[in-house]
């Protein structure tokens, strides 16, 4: 909407402002607010009017709405100090209003616009700049809880805007912690947290005693106390904030885990303490006797503080809270605190381990992840390990895999611990054979982390005997492979270990080193030469010979235009082959190599298509041959989409080149169709479309155009005015010459580039038993896949099902079906519903994963959607096309006719 | 003038309750008012007081009280430690040292009975409370406005049929829906044992249970139930067992909260107790674990699961003796979810009968369970056990591992003992006692480490199986009690249901932390609590507006002075303007004028003196209208000041100051001002 139009609209509005009906006035006020939010409308002109209306307005609702409008105006003009001050004055004046809604809005206004800096006083105003904090603080004791909440929120808003809150607010906020209303308490907890972060080292007195403590400690105690609040919303809030209070003294921190147990006034040890004691005393049987936990020392009744103990046991309470939201928040907070304090990490271990038995899977999973995150700070005791390992039998795959990840980075203290872990993992393997890969990987890390602990176990694990030869184990047994993975990884840093191997172990090593090279490291074995060179680890990637090779071959290609077409083609083919082979050999270069090879292939196709001799032949004769050129154009298009969307780490400068290539393909298409179609009419549309594409290209990449000197598009743009006016036939002619003259653009290589890939783990596609179901009904097929280097998989990854009749179905998995086990990796676990009419015999359907793309998402926002009326959701959900990026898996199904 | 209420209030009066002492005698409390309801307050102003009104003079001083009689609870299968003064029964085999809960509260003229429990340790009259204590002559219905039952444990509801059918009570009985459903099952079960097995006479019949349940009014959580015009009750969630509730009893602005038994930590099937900040005058709370702070429940659960899992893995059989309701369901859920999670295949059995019926109700009352069960019941009701099946006697001899829940919980008789005998000889097997066992039972013997048991018929049973003890209890610990007190913010706390010595500790803590009074009455003792209720006073709008107009907006923190007349008529209070009061009462208005002479040393003429006074007052009283009248007198608002020469001493002038009663404040201020003399420089 143009500015003048807006002005006009506003004038219309002001005419009806005198409307009698308050609801109409309310609507107008809200529309004014919306109007002033739109771009290109300078809201200062309506401010005076709005303030005038405000003064005469009687209805509280309309007042509140008008203040809201003023807020919109104020936020639109953040630089104009005078306006801000004026608005603040207006807000202060209406703070005494009897309606809570008006007071709320005033406070909101103060929070958003009020400033602290006294220096900006304008003498012209004649008003001393008010102390906004003081004014807002006065409303902490308002009679309406909503206003109290708004006051705290306004204060937090001030903080967010970078104004430093006064320390005096702390005491006021503390009083609000015992407010009757949960939203007030919840906001107060936040405020206390904010103040504690601002003034951690200030000293505050403890009431009813002469002692003083640091403010952050005091705040910590108070927030801990809120973990046992009556409202779960407050509890969640408090538990969350605890995690970010890292400056708190360790003395206070450790109290959160100590509930000070007692029984009949005698001090009792916790089960955790008892377990620890049992462990350190070397005794193994646990409390089988009744009264084993009998309390010991007497407690001085005066010293026991049941409730004011502040931090005491806050996490113990939080972790056994009724609501799982609170428990999760508490686990997260524990995690954050433990990461910053190793001694606390050690102490909270017992509690985290206990959380592995929570009734809600999410909580269990969260606590396992937490444990993994703090694992470098801790060493598991045997009894703790025992509890951890018990969870390996969990039926949830997520839990087991999270646990494997945890074991990968856990420190174990004894060789019994390692043995225990191995035994439990093998048990896990027999119970859930699908966990194979994850378990092997876990043992790999377990072995390489604890070589000295594995060493004494080797004879037992390999069941070797000093005198007798034992039977050779089955090489295909996953359990045996698991043991070997553990041993070989330990042996890497323990040179004495290979001496304990028997002959067949060496043979198995050689076999595994070849077949499972990602799990079995290179060993320095007697009588064998080391396979991988130790030198390669020291050189940086740029000096890496393979990287150099890549660079050289690409440079060679870019000198292309000087060669004759035949030679160019050969060189391209050769280089593509080289690159592909390189990608296979060097996994870290695979992305780059593939990416470059694809680009070269596009170029090759283009050259081939242009080399067709038949370009010179008259159109009617050409018809038959056109297949090749149009197929090439189509393929180039596909390849460019792949390049653009299947690689992560593609930067803008690559995107330009890719789009340029696509444009060339489109030009090719245009020429081919121009030559093959008769009549001029269809050409009109095509030409127009092509010119639009060129225009679009120019708009998108205007900044990059200087880099495209002498390129196809550069030349095309020079001739653009002429093209616009020419007839289609002429356009085609020009484009054709251009295309033939265009040079080969150099593709700069990005720093990090990875090709997206997906592997469907399940269904495995090996089953001979068809899935039977009644036709017309659905059958759920579990799909489990790992995705690598996919950006934003929630929106882009789709599942496709191809039925034998050619019918294809695309399924959009739910965002919750995607897990993120590590950087760059995703896991899709979802259910696909299949349905079909009855078949006479079982047949196979194909399941594969697709990457959906939409090239328009790169477009800069069109100016007319500036107001954000079109939500980004709508825009991105439009799928322009899809790229299959996984091998398809065949599933045997059989829809039976329904029985009548 | 403004008025301020002094004096005392009147409020609840609680009745003493008879309790059996150790010797089993009943001691009627001498102070118990033996009047029928409605006349318990002889004061003519009873109606007024019933509404919580308080009279501003010290004349009407009434007492309020709460009585608590309590004895220990049964909570089947849990730790029981009797009242200090309640000696446990020494009869062998009876086995259960249990108490009963029964409290009478009188609040604002209403009499309410909280819980109607029985004592399972006695088989004679002593098992029920002595209801003749309430009234010797006259019907109970006349004395009690309602009866509230907190939950279905027999020590809280066991005497109900006796009370309502045999003693005779026809008033309403309030309980929650699950309690209403499960309570009759338990009563019937108990009746069967008492009558059919032990052959007792003079016991309530099945029909009586049914009739009694017809008098029950079921309430929902947080539903405010109007018992009559003045009395209302409201239930809050209490955890503990299915359907357990805390009750708020409210008359006018006065309220009492009775917690019954509650649990502040959630368990596998129930949530935690919760109450809003209702600020009752009195909170009656149980204090079973007054001196205990418990360890995290997670350790206990983990230990339990680990033990069961290990035993099952090595092929052993696990016996868990439990009582039919409450903990049994919790343990079932615990094992069920564990089996589900760990994909275990060993069968779990549950002894049939009472439990099956009870499980049925657990399935129905999903809203009363914890978050997890409530959230997931749409997919699957957690009480629809997949792995837990009904037990048949023949299953005990099946080979292979299994877990069996069997009743009763102390291994003293029945199915659990039978199974125990079968399995005791094998060291692979295990028995887990989830609760406390009374001395003399097999459970107690094996827990104390006895390995050879003498059974009936001089058989000696050698116990080779493992014996484990796990404590699962559903009461709030000391911290939990404090937490609840903190949540409710009561004015007074009354502890029941615990040992005196332990309560003493908690009492001290509560008084120290919350600075509220805390009481711990002995059985049969009456506690009387004074309260200070607020008294609503009607004010005429005209007066309010007039007074409002004079000052700034009302501020909640500062008291405001208001001029008016308080009329007490027909037990209601009204604040009206004095004119209206005069009109209503048909009185003529009398003018009251104060006159005062102030001697002023001033040799000048009267007129000059008056002028000086005028200018002085003008400069001091800037806010008031000071005028100098032509006749030489000075007025400040309506106050008249005249100067006259002193008849004897010409050097002294007499200032006559006169003001009406309404201007008393200004008048006295003015006098004191003038008494200080005029400033010298003022001319």
Q: Up-side HSE of residue B209: CA atoms within 13 Å toward CB?
A: 19
Per-residue pLDDT at A301: 55
Confidence of residue A618 (pLDDT cuts 50, 70, 90): low
Strands (E), A34-144: none
Mean pLDDT (chain A, rounded): 79
β A843-853/A881-884 pair status: antiparallel
Per-residue pLDDT at A878: 67
Give the long-range contacts of residues A50-55, CB within 8 A, separation 24 or more: A51/A86, A51/A90, A53/A17, A53/A29, A54/A90, A54/A94
Chain A residue closest in CA terms to B502: A264
Alpha carbons B435 and B408: distance in angstroms, whole number: 11
pLDDT tens digits, residue range A35-79?
777 766 777 777 777 788 788 788 888 888 888 888 888 888 777
Give chain B positions within 8 Å (CB) of A271: 295-296, 299-300, 303
CB contact under 8 A, B483 and A307: yes
Per-residue pLDDT at B98: 39
Confidence of residue B96 (pLDDT cuts 50, 70, 90): very low
Q: Which helix H or strand E contains A787, and what residues bound it?
A: strand A779-788
- Tokens 């009775």: give the residue: B258
Phi and psi torsions of B641, nearest 5°: -125, 125
Alpha carbons B107 and B212: distance in angstroms, whole number: 25
Inform me whether the pLDDT recorded for B610 exceeds 50. Answer: yes
Catalytic residue among B286, B301, B468, B525: B286
Give chain B positions within 8 Å (CB) of A363: none
Of A322, A324, A354, the CB nearest to B272: A322
Q: Is A49 on the interface with B (CB under 8 A)?
A: no
- Do residues A221 and A186 lie in contact, with contact meaning Cβ atoms separated by under 8 Å? no
Inform me whether the pLDDT recorded for B158 exceeds 80. Answer: yes
Per-residue pLDDT at B440: 75
Give chain B positions within 8 Å (CB) of A288: 466-468
Domains and their CATH numbers in chain B: 102-293+475-519 (3.60.15.10), 297-469 (3.40.50.10890), 537-551+558-585 (no CATH), 593-676 (3.30.310)
Confidence of residue B233 (pLDDT cuts 50, 70, 90): very high
Inform me whether the pLDDT recorded for A127 exceeds 60. Answer: no
Name the B residues in 91-130 with CB < 8 Å from any A CB.
none
- Do residues A220 and A196 lie in contact, with contact meaning Cβ atoms separated by under 8 Å? yes
Give chain B positions within 8 Å (CB) of A287: 469
CB contact under 8 A, A265 and B486: no
Inform me whether the pLDDT recorded for B78 exceeds 60. Answer: no
* Residue B286 annotated in active site: yes
The larger pLDDT score, comparing residue A283 to residue B109, is at B109
Give chain A positions within 8 Å (CB) of B487: 230
What residue ranges of chain A are covered by domains with CATH 2.60.40.10? 756-858+878-896
Per-residue pLDDT at A517: 81
Give the least confident one: A172-181, A384-393, A714-723, B459-468.
A714-723
What residue ranges of chain A are covered by domains with CATH 1.25.10.10? 1-117+130-207
Q: At CA A801, angle to CA A800 and CA A805, rounded to 5? A: 135
Mean pLDDT, range A82-102, rounded to an integer: 84
Inform me whether the pLDDT recorded for B636 exceeds 50. Answer: yes
Most A CBs within 10 Å, among B84, B236, B287, B296, to test the A interface: B296
Q: Is B336 on the interface with A (CB under 8 A)?
A: no
The larger pLDDT score, comparing residue B434 to residue A100, is at A100
Inform me whether the pLDDT recorded for B244 exceeds 90. Answer: yes
Of A96, A270, A357, the CB nearest to B295: A270
Mean pLDDT, range B517-532, rounded to an integer: 84
Mean pLDDT, range A121-150, rounded to an integer: 73
Phi and psi torsions of A258, nearest 5°: -115, 115
Per-residue pLDDT at A528: 56
Inform me whether the pLDDT recorded for B613 exceeds 60. Answer: yes
Question: What does R_g of chain B's alpha carbons equal in angstroms?
Answer: 36
Inform me whether the pLDDT recorded for A597 exceeds 50. Answer: yes
Inform me whether the pLDDT recorded for A254 exceeds 50. Answer: yes
pLDDT tens digits, residue range A486-509?
999 998 888 888 888 888 888 888
Per-residue pLDDT at A240: 92
Confidence of residue A613 (pLDDT cuts 50, 70, 90): low
**β-pair partners for A890:** A846
Alpha carbons B189 and B187: distance in angstroms, whole number: 5
Give the least confident one: A3-17, A423-437, A610-624.
A610-624
Inform me whether the pLDDT recorded for B550 exceeds 80. Answer: no
Q: Is B493 exposed, middle or buried (0-12, 13-18, 19+ CB in 10 A)?
A: buried
Asked: is A756-858+878-896 a CATH 2.60.40.10 domain? The reply is yes
Of A230, A288, A320, the CB nearest to B296: A320
Q: Is A278 on the interface with B (CB under 8 A)?
A: no
Give chain A positions within 8 Å (CB) of B466: 288
* Distance in Å, alpha carbon of A745 to nearest chain B alpha carbon: 59
Residue B128 three-state SS: coil
Alpha carbons B225 and B235: distance in angstroms, whole number: 9
Per-residue pLDDT at B39: 36
Mean pLDDT, range B112-138, rounded to an integer: 78
Chain A residue closest in CA terms to B270: A322
Q: Longest Cα pair distance anywhere in chain B, in angstroms?
A: 128
Alpha carbons A283 and A383: distance in angstroms, whole number: 12
Per-residue pLDDT at B81: 25
Say which CATH topology domain A1-117+130-207 has.
Answer: 1.25.10
Alpha carbons B146 and B165: distance in angstroms, whole number: 15
Per-residue pLDDT at B258: 94
Per-residue pLDDT at B74: 28
pTM of the shown model: 0.72
Residues of chain A with pLDDT > 70: what percent?
A: 82
Mean pLDDT, range A306-316, rounded to an integer: 65
Most B CBs within 10 Å, among A306, A362, A391, A399, to test the B interface: A306
Alpha carbons A196 and A188: distance in angstroms, whole number: 12
Confidence of residue A561 (pLDDT cuts 50, 70, 90): low
The larger pLDDT score, comparing residue A876 to residue A297, is at A297
Measure the N-to-C terminal CA separation of chain B; round to a whole number of Å: 38
Q: Which helix H or strand E contains A783, and what residues bound it?
A: strand A779-788
Confidence of residue B178 (pLDDT cuts 50, 70, 90): very high
Per-residue pLDDT at A192: 93
Per-residue pLDDT at B257: 94
Per-residue pLDDT at A298: 57
Name the B residues in 234-293 with CB < 8 Å from any A CB.
265-266, 268, 271-272, 274-277, 291-293
Mean pLDDT, range A114-130, rounded to an integer: 50
Confidence of residue B616 (pLDDT cuts 50, 70, 90): confident
CB contact under 8 A, B291 and A262: yes
Per-residue burial over A724-762, b = 16 or more CB atoms within 10 Å of its CB, e = otherwise: eeeebeebbebbbebbeebebbebeebeebbbbbbebee
- Do residues B620 and B682 lie in contact, with contact meaning Cβ atoms separated by under 8 Å? no
Mean pLDDT (chain B, rounded): 76
* Distance in Å, alpha carbon of A550 to nearest chain B alpha carbon: 52
CA distances (Å), B392 to each of A226, B315, B346, B401, B419, in order? 50, 20, 16, 15, 11
Per-residue pLDDT at B47: 36
Give chain B positions within 8 Å (CB) of A357: 298, 301-302, 305
* Distance in Å, alpha carbon of A270 to nearest chain B alpha carbon: 6
**β-pair partners for A203:** A214
Chain A residue closest in CA terms to B300: A271
Inform me whether the pLDDT recorded for A736 exceeds 50. Answer: yes
Most A CBs within 10 Å, among B295, B446, B451, to test the A interface: B295
Per-residue pLDDT at A897: 86
- Do residues A850 and A884 lie in contact, with contact meaning Cβ atoms separated by under 8 Å? yes
Confidence of residue A331 (pLDDT cuts 50, 70, 90): very high
pLDDT tens digits, residue range A199-242?
988 888 877 667 788 888 888 888 988 988 888 999 999 999 99
CB contact under 8 A, A180 and B277: yes
Q: Which of A479-483, B126-130, B564-568 has the highest mean pLDDT?
A: A479-483
pLDDT tens digits, residue range A165-182?
888 889 888 889 888 899
CB atoms inside a 10 Å sphere around CB B99: 26
Alpha carbons B101 and B247: distance in angstroms, whole number: 15
CB contact under 8 A, B275 and A230: yes
**β-pair partners for B102:** B69
Give chain B positions within 8 Å (CB) of A286: 303
Inform me whether the pLDDT recorded for B8 exceeds 90. Answer: no
Q: Is A310 on the interface with B (CB under 8 A)?
A: no
Per-residue pLDDT at A292: 46
Phi and psi torsions of B157, nearest 5°: -135, 0
* Distance in Å, alpha carbon of A355 to nearest chain B alpha carbon: 8
Per-residue pLDDT at B208: 92
Mean pLDDT, range A731-737, rounded to an integer: 81
Alpha carbons A174 and A215: distance in angstroms, whole number: 12
CB contact under 8 A, A270 and B343: no
Confidence of residue A864 (pLDDT cuts 50, 70, 90): very low
Q: Is B294 on the interface with A (CB under 8 A)?
A: yes
Alpha carbons A532 and A534: distance in angstroms, whole number: 6
Give chain B positions within 8 Å (CB) of A322: 266, 271-272, 370-371
Inform me whether the pLDDT recorded for A281 exceeds 50. Answer: no
Chain B residue closest in CA terms to A265: B291
Inform me whether the pLDDT recorded for B11 exceeds 50. Answer: no
Alpha carbons A858 and A732: distance in angstroms, whole number: 28
Per-residue pLDDT at A776: 83
């Amino acid at each position: 909407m143009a500015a003048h139009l807006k002005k006009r609209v506003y004038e219309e509005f002001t005419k009806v402002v005198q409307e009698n009906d308050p609801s109409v006035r309310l609507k107008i006020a809200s529309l004014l607010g919306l109007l002033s939010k739109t771009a290109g409308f300078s809201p200062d002109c309506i401010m005076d009017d709005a303030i005038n209306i405000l003064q005469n307005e009687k209805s509280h609702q309309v007042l509140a709405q008008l203040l809201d409008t003023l807020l919109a105006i104020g936020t639109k003009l953040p630089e104009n100090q005078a306006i801000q001050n004026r608005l603040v004055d207006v807000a202060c004046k209406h703070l005494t209003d009897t309606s809570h809604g008006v007071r709320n809005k005033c406070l909101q206004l103060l929070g958003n616009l009020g400033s602290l800096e006294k220096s900006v006083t304008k003498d012209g105003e004649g008003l001393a700049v008010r102390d906004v904090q003081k004014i807002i603080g006065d409303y902490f004791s308002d009679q309406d809880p909503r206003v109290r909440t708004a006051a705290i929120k306004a204060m937090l808003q001030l903080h967010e805007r970078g104004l430093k809150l006064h320390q005096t607010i702390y005491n006021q906020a503390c009083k609000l912690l015992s407010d009757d209303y949960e939203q007030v308490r919840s906001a107060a907890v936040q405020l206390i947290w904010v103040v504690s972060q601002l003034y951690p080292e200030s000293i505050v007195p403890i009431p009813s005693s002469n002692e003083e403590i640091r403010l952050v400690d005091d705040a910590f105690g108070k927030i801990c106390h809120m973990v046992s609040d009556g409202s779960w919303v407050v509890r969640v809030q408090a538990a969350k904030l605890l995690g970010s209070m890292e400056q708190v003294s360790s003395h206070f921190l450790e109290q959160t885990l100590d509930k000070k147990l007692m029984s009949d006034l005698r001090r009792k040890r916790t089960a955790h303490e008892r377990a620890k004691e049992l462990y350190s005393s070397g005794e193994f049987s646990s409390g089988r006797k009744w009264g084993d936990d009998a309390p010991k020392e007497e407690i001085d009744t005066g010293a026991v503080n049941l409730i004011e103990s502040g931090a005491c046991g806050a996490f113990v309470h939080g972790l056994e809270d009724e609501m799982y939201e609170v428990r999760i928040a508490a686990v997260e907070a524990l995690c954050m605190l433990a990461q910053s304090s190793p001694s606390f990490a050690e102490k909270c271990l017992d509690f985290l381990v206990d959380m592995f038995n929570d009734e809600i899977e999410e909580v269990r999973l969260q606590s396992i992840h937490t444990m993994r995150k703090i694992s470098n700070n801790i060493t598991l005791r045997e009894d703790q390990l025992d509890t951890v390992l018990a969870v390996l039998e969990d039926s949830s795959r997520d839990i087991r895999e999270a646990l494997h990840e945890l074991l990968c980075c856990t420190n174990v203290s004894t060789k019994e611990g390692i043995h225990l872990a191995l035994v439990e993992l093998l048990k896990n393997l027999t119970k859930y054979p699908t966990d194979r890969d994850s378990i092997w990987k876990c043992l790999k890390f377990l072995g390489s982390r604890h070589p000295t602990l594995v060493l004494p176990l080797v004879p037992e694990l390999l069941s070797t005997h000093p005198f007798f030869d034992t039977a050779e184990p089955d090489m295909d047994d996953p359990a045996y492979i698991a043991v070997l993975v553990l041993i070989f990884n330990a042996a890497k840093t323990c040179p004495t270990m290979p001496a304990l191997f028997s002959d067949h172990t060496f043979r198995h090593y050689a076999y595994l080193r070849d077949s499972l090279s990602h799990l079995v490291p290179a060993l320095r074995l007697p009588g064998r030469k080391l396979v991988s060179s130790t030198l390669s680890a020291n050189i940086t990637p740029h000096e890496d010979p393979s990287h150099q090779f890549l660079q050289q071959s690409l440079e060679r290609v870019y000198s292309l235009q000087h060669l004759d077409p035949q030679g160019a083609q050969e060189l391209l083919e050769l280089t593509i082959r080289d690159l592909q082979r390189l990608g296979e050999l060097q996994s870290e270069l695979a992305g780059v190599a593939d990416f470059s090879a694809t680009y070269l292939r596009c170029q090759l196709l283009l050259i081939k298509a242009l080399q067709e001799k038949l370009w010179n032949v008259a159109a009617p004769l050409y018809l038959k041959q056109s297949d090749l050129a149009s197929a090439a154009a189509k393929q180039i298009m596909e390849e460019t989409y792949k390049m653009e969307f299947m690689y992560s780490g593609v930067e803008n400068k690559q995107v330009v080149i890719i789009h340029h290539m696509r444009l060339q393909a489109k030009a090719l298409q245009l020429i081919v169709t121009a030559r093959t179609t008769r009549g001029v009419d269809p050409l009109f549309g095509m030409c127009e479309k092509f010119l639009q594409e060129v225009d679009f290209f120019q708009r998108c990449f205007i900044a990059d155009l200087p880099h495209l000197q002498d390129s196809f598009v550069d030349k095309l743009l020079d001739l653009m005015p002429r093209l616009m006016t020419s007839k289609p036939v002429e356009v085609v002619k020009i484009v054709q010459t251009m295309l033939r003259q265009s040079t080969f653009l150099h593709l700069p290589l990005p720093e990090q580039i990875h090709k997206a890939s997906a592997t469907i783990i399940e269904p495995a596609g090996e089953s001979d038993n068809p899935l039977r179901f009644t036709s017309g009904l659905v059958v759920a097929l579990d799909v489990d896949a790992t995705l690598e280097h996919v950006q934003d998989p929630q929106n882009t990854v789709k599942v496709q099902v191809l039925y034998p009749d050619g019918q294809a179905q695309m399924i959009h998995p739910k965002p919750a079906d995607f897990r993120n086990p590590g950087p760059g990796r995703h896991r899709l676990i979802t259910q696909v519903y299949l349905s079909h009419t009855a078949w006479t015999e079982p047949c196979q359907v194909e399941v594969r994963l697709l990457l959906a793309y939409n090239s328009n998402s790169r477009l800069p926002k069109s100016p007319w959607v500036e107001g954000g009326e079109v939500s980004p959701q709508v825009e991105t959900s439009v799928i322009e096309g899809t790229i299959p990026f996984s091998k398809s898996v065949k599933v045997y199904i059989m829809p039976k006719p329904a029985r009548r | 003038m403004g008025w301020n209420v002094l004096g005392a209030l009147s409020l609840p009066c609680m009745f003493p309750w008879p309790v059996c002492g150790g010797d089993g005698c009943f001691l009627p409390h001498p102070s118990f008012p033996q009047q029928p309801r409605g006349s318990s307050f002889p004061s003519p102003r009873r109606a007024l007081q019933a509404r919580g009104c308080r009279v501003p003079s010290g004349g009407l001083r009434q007492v309020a009280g709460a009585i608590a009689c309590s004895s220990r609870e049964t909570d089947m299968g849990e730790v029981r430690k009797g009242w200090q003064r309640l000696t446990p029964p020494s009869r062998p085999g009876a086995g259960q040292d249990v108490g009963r809960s029964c409290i009478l509260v009188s609040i604002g003229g209403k009499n309410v009975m909280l819980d109607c429990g029985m004592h399972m340790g006695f088989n004679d009259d002593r098992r029920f409370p002595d209801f003749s204590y309430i009234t010797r002559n006259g019907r109970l219905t006349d004395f009690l406005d309602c009866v509230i039952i907190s939950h279905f444990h027999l020590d809280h509801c066991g005497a109900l049929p006796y009370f309502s059918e045999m003693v005779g009570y026809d008033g309403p009985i309030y309980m929650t829906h699950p309690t209403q459903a499960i309570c009759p099952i338990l009563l019937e079960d108990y009746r069967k044992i008492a009558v059919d097995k032990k052959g007792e006479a003079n016991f309530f019949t099945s029909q009586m249970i049914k009739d009694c349940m017809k008098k029950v009014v079921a309430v929902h959580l947080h539903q405010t139930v109007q018992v009559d015009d003045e009395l209302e009750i409201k239930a809050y969630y209490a955890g503990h067992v299915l359907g357990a509730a805390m009750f708020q009893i409210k008359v006018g602005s006065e309220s009492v909260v009775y917690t019954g038994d509650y649990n502040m930590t959630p368990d596998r099937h129930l949530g935690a107790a919760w109450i809003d900040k209702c600020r009752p005058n009195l909170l009656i709370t149980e204090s079973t674990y007054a001196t205990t702070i418990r360890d995290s429940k997670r350790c206990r659960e983990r230990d339990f699961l680990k033990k069961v899992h290990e035993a099952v893995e090595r092929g052993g059989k696990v016996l868990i003796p439990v009582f039919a309701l409450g903990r049994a369901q919790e343990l079932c859920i615990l094992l069920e979810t564990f089996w589900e999670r760990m994909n275990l295949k060993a069968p779990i059995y549950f002894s049939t009968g009472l439990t099956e019926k009870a499980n049925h109700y657990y399935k129905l009352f999903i809203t009363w369970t914890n978050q997890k069960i409530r959230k997931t019941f749409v997919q699957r009701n957690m009480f629809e056990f997949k792995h837990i099946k009904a037990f048949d006697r023949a299953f005990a001899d099946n080979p292979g591992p299994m877990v069996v829940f069997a009743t009763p919980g102390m291994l003293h008789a029945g199915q659990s003992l039978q199974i125990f005998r079968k399995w005791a000889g094998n060291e692979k097997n295990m028995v887990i006692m989830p609760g406390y066992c009374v001395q003399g039972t097999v459970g107690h013997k094996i827990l104390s480490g006895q390995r050879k048991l003498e059974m009936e018929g001089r058989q000696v049973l050698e116990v080779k199986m493992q014996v484990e003890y796990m404590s699962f209890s559903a009461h709030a610990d000391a911290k939990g009690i404090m937490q609840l007190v903190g949540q409710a913010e009561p004015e007074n706390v009354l502890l029941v249901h615990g040992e005196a010595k332990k309560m003493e500790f908690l009492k001290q803590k509560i008084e120290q932390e919350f600075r509220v009074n805390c009481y711990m009455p002995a059985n049969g003792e009456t506690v009387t609590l004074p309260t200070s209720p607020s008294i609503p006073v009607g004010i005429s709008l005209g007066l309010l507006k007039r007074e409002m107009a004079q000052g700034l907006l009302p501020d909640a923190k500062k008291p405001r002075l208001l001029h008016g007349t308080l009329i007490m008529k027909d037990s209601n209070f009204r604040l009206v303007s004095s004119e209206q009061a005069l009109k209503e009462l048909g009185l003529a208005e009398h003018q009251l004028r104060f006159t005062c002479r102030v001697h002023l040393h001033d040799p000048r003429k009267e007129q000059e003196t008056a002028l000086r006074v005028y200018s002085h007052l003008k400069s001091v009283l800037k806010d008031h209208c000071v005028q100098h009248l032509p006749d030489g007198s000075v007025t400040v608002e309506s106050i008249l000041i005249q100067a006259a020469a002193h008849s004897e001493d010409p050097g002294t002038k007499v200032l006559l100051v006169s003001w009406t009663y309404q201007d008393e404040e200004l008048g006295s201020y003015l006098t004191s001002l003038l008494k200080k003399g005029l400033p010298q420089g003022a001319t």
